[in-house]
Amino acid sequence: MPSVVQKVLSIPAVVEDVSFEEIDGREVLVVDVRAYARARSRCAECGRRCPGYDQAPTARRWRHLDVAGRQCVLRASLRRVRC
């Protein structure tokens, strides 16, 4: 069952953690997400679904729509794939 945060943000991923962090002098809502286990990653070049072999060493961040007047950022570790 999707969590409340997942419903509010309407993202197709599993929400692992929600926290407030200081980024560039502003308090930002940070939502840590991961892909569903059954979802296979896609190649960045051709877009085909490919098997993954590991995860990138650092997490990436994406700006999401503001939530309750606060900046919201999604953070996830990406899978690297063999195409």
pLDDT in tens, 3-48: 777 777 777 888 899 999 998 898 999 999 988 877 778 888 888 8
Q: What integer pLDDT is reported at residue 1 of this predicted model?
A: 45
Number of domains in the chain: 1
| Domain encompassing residue 72 | 4-81
Shortest CA distance to 72 belongs to which of 14, 10, 1? 10
- Under 8 Å CB-to-CB from 11, ≥6 apart: which residues? 33, 64, 74
Model confidence, pTM: 0.76
